[in-house]
Amino acid sequence: MKILVLNSGSSSIKYALFEMSNQHVEISGIIEAIGSPESLHSYQLNVDYTNKKQVNQHEVSSHKHGLQEIFKTLTQLKLITQVVDLLCIGHRVVHGGEKFSQPTIITNEVLEEIKLVTPLAPLHNPANLLGIEEARAYAPNTPQVAVFDTAFHQTLPDYAFQYAVPEKWYSQLAVRRYGFHGTSHFYVAKQVAKSLEKPLESLNIISLHLGNGASMAAIKQGLSIDTSMGMSPLEGLIMGTRSGDLDPAIIFYLQDKLELSCAEIKNSLNKESGLKGICHENDMRAVHQLAESGDKQAQLALAMVSYRIKKYIGAYFAVLGEVDAIVFTGGIGENDSVLREMCCADLKLFGIAVDSDKNRQVSTDIRHIEQEGMPVKILVIATNEELEIALQAKACIA
Ligand code: ADP
């Protein structure tokens, strides 16, 4: 039985088709720059054992057109003969507010509920909704399931998710920590449990999802009890272009001194800050190249990013009491051995120490990189949010 996973963003749709009997990825693709003449549809077949990439370049004018293109591709390649071949379609939805703590079959009522929380994620949810609406119109008899980035963090206790602001901001306006990347944190936590051959419910894990967007989660006996992103993905770690934590008074100071509008400051904190703000590069590989060539700002960026992560490791260690494992995932977490070593340096007192040789080995398999005999296991695990969405969607309709 096959499940199609759709991740509909503001200008792109990513998709993957899984044969669920063996979790094989039959096709994985992306349509980028929707609505522009540069629209690009690229896909990879049989992701597990070949690397063949096919590319179609012609204008994809809208999400509707994009979805038609995806279904046309699936049928032309004979991956499905009709939409009825699909067990269901799983949709990534960024924000589920407090309403959704589980994957949910999409009905008209559910769609309305998702619309109600959209003001909390104005950059993400509208595009997710467009994808859902088009998929429902295209495949009206195929069950559609929403899988929320926020759902895994709905187990945070109130003292961790509340901000110390006037109470009515929470009760009337839903201002609180929600956290994101939940699908990825949950997926890698399950992989840690598999690798350690222990039930997830018995493990305390610090999970680091380090990509362009980055967040950490403190996972106690399998449940998320704290996470670094907040009401929006802006809080927490230093990211590609986002600042992460900062003193809110900076915003008022900038408003006064530079007469910047709220929208301008929001744009700077989301798109001009983080690595890019510090050293003009938002891609971690470019930051390393600059740092190696002696660029002081790039060196500072690496020091700041790893220092922030280390502070969160310390905080989450205190919150969890005991830690069985630390797991690195995301483009940076999976590939950047230098940063992994910097984040974990001088933490031997916590039982955390990286083995430099193991850390430098390149592999896509699950790897242990802790020094022999250290109590805290350190793992590097490739995330697979699409597979996790497919698994959750399958469980949901079962
Ligand atoms: P997104 O949040 O967009 O999904 P990814 O998880 O793909 O992001 O991560 C992208 C980041 O991973 C970029 O900063 C990129 O430079 C970084 N990255 C990818 N490969 C490496 C590598 N070999 N070394 C260091 N950083 C890497």
pLDDT (tens place) for every residue of the chain, 398 residues total: 999 999 998 889 999 999 999 999 999 999 998 988 888 899 988 775 455 566 777 778 888 899 999 999 998 888 988 777 899 999 999 999 999 999 999 999 999 999 999 998 888 899 999 999 999 998 999 999 999 999 999 999 999 999 999 999 999 999 999 999 999 999 999 999 999 999 999 999 999 999 999 999 999 999 999 999 999 999 999 999 999 999 999 999 999 999 999 999 999 999 999 999 999 999 999 999 999 999 999 999 999 999 999 999 999 999 999 999 999 999 999 999 999 999 999 999 999 999 999 999 999 899 999 999 999 999 999 999 999 999 999 999 99
Which residue among 116, 148, 180 closes a domain?
148
Q: 203 and 350 share a domain?
A: yes
Q: Are residues 144 and 224 in the same domain?
A: no
- 77 plus 216 within the same structural domain: no
- CB-neighbour burial class of residue 65 (10 A; exposed 0-12, middle 13-18, buried 19+): middle
Shortest-distance Cα residue to atom 4 of ligand 1: 211
State whether 204 and 71 are in the same domain.
no
Spatial strand order of the sheet with 223-227 comes to 223-227, 214-220, 204-210, 325-329, 377-380, 367-368
The bridge status of strand 204-210 relative to strand 144-148 is unpaired
Residue 250 maps to a domain: yes
- Does ligand 1 lie within 6 Å of residue 285's CB atom? yes
* 130 and 20 within one domain: yes
Q: Residue 212 C-alpha to ligand 1 middle, in angstroms?
A: 6
Parent domain of 241: 198-385
* Cα-based distances in Å from 84 to 2, 26, 139, 140: 10, 17, 8, 10
- Residue 126 is which amino acid? P
pLDDT at position 56 is 72
Collapsed DSSP state (helix, strand, coil) of residue 61: coil
- 144 and 231 share one domain: no
What span, in angstroms and rounded, lies between the C-alpha atoms of 341 and 215? Answer: 18
Q: How far apart are CA 29 and CA 131, in angstroms?
A: 15
Strands (E), 254-344: 325-329
E-strand stretches of 35-143: 40-45, 53-56, 86-93, 104-105
Which atom of ligand 1 is the closest one to the Cα of 282? 14
Going from the Cα of 148 to the center of ligand 1, the distance in angstroms, rounded, reads 23
* Residues 233-275: tens digit of each pLDDT: 999 999 999 999 999 999 999 999 999 999 999 999 999 999 9
- Domain membership of residue 186 (yes or no) is no
Q: What digits encode the pLDDT tens for the residues 359-381?
A: 999 998 999 999 999 999 999 99
**136 CA → ligand 1 middle, Å:** 33
Active-site choice (48, 85, 149, 295): 149
Which residues lie below 8 Å from residue 164, measured CB to CB, with a gap of 6+? none
Judge whether 396 lies within some domain: no
Q: 34 and 129, same structural domain?
A: yes
- Rounded-to-integer distance, Cα 1 and Cα 393, Å: 13
Read off the amino acid at residue 96: G
Using an 8 Å Cβ cutoff, are 241 and 272 in contact?
A: yes
Q: Indicate if ligand 1 lies below 6 Å from the C-beta of 210.
A: no
Mutate to test the pocket of ligand 1, among 212, 281, 383 (most ligand atoms within 8 A of CB): 212
Q: Pocket of ligand 1, candidates 332, 336, 338: which has the most ligand atoms within 8 Å of its Cβ, to mutate?
A: 332
Number of domains in the chain: 2
CA–CA distance from 345 to each of 206, 280, 313, 325, 342 (Å)? 16, 26, 11, 16, 5
Mean pLDDT of the chain: 94
Residue type at position 176: R
178 part of a folded domain: no
> Does ligand 1 lie within 6 Å of residue 182's CB atom?
no
Residue 191: inside a domain, yes or no? no
The pTM (predicted TM-score) of the whole model is 0.95
Q: Is the CB of 331 under 6 A from ligand 1?
A: yes
149 catalytic residue (yes or no): yes
Model pLDDT for residues 43-91, shown as the tens digit of each residue: 988 775 455 566 777 778 888 899 999 999 998 888 988 777 899 999 9
Q: Both 240 and 372 in a single domain?
A: yes
Q: What is the CATH number of the domain that holds 284?
A: 3.30.420.40
Residue 125, amino acid: N
140: left (phi over 0), alpha (psi -120 to 50) or beta: alpha
Q: Are residues 224 and 370 in the same domain?
A: yes
Residue 69: how many other CB atoms lie within 10 Å:
19
pLDDT at 339: 98
Query: What's the 3-state SS for 332-395?
Result: HHHHCHHHHHHHHCCCHHHCCCECHHHHHCCCCCCEECECCCCCCEEEECCCCHHHHHHHHHHH
